[in-house]
Amino acid sequence: MTVQAQQFTVRLARDAADLHAVQRLRYEVFVEELGGDGDLVDHAARLERDRFDPFADHLLVSDPMRDGAVVGTYRLMRADQAARAGGFYTEGEYDLDPLHRSGRRLLELGRSCLHADYRGGGVMFQLWQGLAAYVLDHGIEVLFGTASFHGTDVARIAQPLAFLHHRHLAPEGLRVRARAYQEMDLMPEDRIDRAAAMRDMPALIKAYLRLGGCVGEGAFVDHAFNTTDVCLVMDTARMNARQRDMYTGGRA
């Protein structure tokens, strides 16, 4: 799978060199920029990695104008890949039984990041187009994964967490629940300042919401990664049609 778009190339990682390029970008963003860490992070080689990487597909965006440097990435794991890995990454934070019981084709999204020089431009759109092609090629029905607020001070992000809880909670049949439960219902709905909540919402979460995504019950405070995570769930049958057509080019 390769998609040429403007000056960028979107494709899946093909070999160890591609995977290392992805992991180096993740190190720059998650470790150096955001202060994360993990058992398998290789600080000497500057690689952010974990035990799920060998089992997943890695979507990447490269820039030929910078000698093919990887400037954006997404980790994609289908249910068959997760079975070989001993489960999904998200299962360490959320009880995914509702998704498993649904009997639908699942795809976990994770480790999404962009090089600092490419944020606010077209690279995220190219990643989403590549993701849309992957979803269609594999007949995926439900996408899910954790998305993060930077930092572990829940009081600082009470507005956006409460907004997600009151306005975007997943339907019961898809409502996963945090294992180490952090309440998201931190204020009554009528006290939420929607403008402030959206201002403090990470761009990736806002993109999911525009497509019709929703969130599981409760947040997960990840002290090792210095984040507060929510679990986003997106039923492809309920996606916003206009936004879906934008990303799929009308293929869906």
Over range 165-193, report the average pLDDT: 95
Fold classification of 2-248 is Aminopeptidase (3.40.630)
Helix boundaries (H) for the chain:
16-26, 79-85, 97-102, 123-138, 158-167, 194-199, 203-210, 241-248
- Residue 249: predicted pLDDT: 55
Q: Residue ranges per domain, the chain?
A: 2-248
What is the average pLDDT across 236-242? 71
Burial of 194 (0-12, 13-18, 19+ CB in 10 A): exposed
80 falls in which pLDDT band (50, 70, 90)? very high
Question: pTM value?
Answer: 0.89
pLDDT of residue 216: 97
* Angle separating helix axes 241-248 and 123-138, nearest 10 degrees: 90
Report the DSSP beta bridge partners of residue 122. Answer: none
* pLDDT at residue 34 greater than cutoff 80: yes
What's the mean pLDDT in 106-113?
A: 95
Q: Which residues contact 234 (CB under 8 A, 6 or more apart)?
A: 142, 143, 144, 208, 211, 212, 213, 214
Q: Is the pLDDT of residue 194 over 90?
A: yes
Give the lowest-confidence range in 70-84, 99-113, 230-244: 230-244
Strand partners, 10: 3, 61
Interacting residues of 103 by C-beta distance below 8 A, sequence separation 6+: none
